[in-house]
Amino acid sequence: MSTKSNNLKKELDYYIANQDELVKKYLDKYLIIKDEVVVGVYDSELEAYNDGKKKFDLGTFLIQKCVPGTDSYTQVFHSRAIFN
């Protein structure tokens, strides 16, 4: 796994570990998390992205919507493939 992937996993792990507290403070906001610290809070994902790319190298910070539950950080992909 690359260093950037490891960093993003670390940031996501921080979010998951602190999700309840973060949701109480930042419900429905978009967070920039870098070095296991919330370094920005935004009303939209685009606003977070634009500010984040000005301040940090892409791939070195996580943008995370702050909502309860696992849906905000879990994705399911469906395929039309048929397996025999």
- Write out the chain's pLDDT in tens, 84 residues: 566 678 899 999 999 999 999 999 999 999 999 999 999 999 999 999 999 999 999 999 999 999 999 988 876 555 565 656
The reported pTM is: 0.83
Q: Give the range of the structural domain holding residue 27, as residue numbers without chain letter.
A: 3-73
Does residue 46 belong to any structural domain of this protein?
yes
Q: What is the amino acid identity at position 14? A: Y
Does residue 11 belong to any structural domain of this protein?
yes
Does residue 82 belong to any structural domain of this protein?
no
Instruction: Report how far residue 13's alpha carbon sits from residue 6's, in angstroms, rounded to the nearest whole number.
Output: 10
Instruction: Report how far residue 64's alpha carbon sits from residue 11's, in angstroms, rounded to the nearest whole number.
Output: 9
Count of domains observed in the chain: 1
Does residue 64 belong to any structural domain of this protein?
yes
Does residue 81 belong to any structural domain of this protein?
no
Does residue 83 belong to any structural domain of this protein?
no
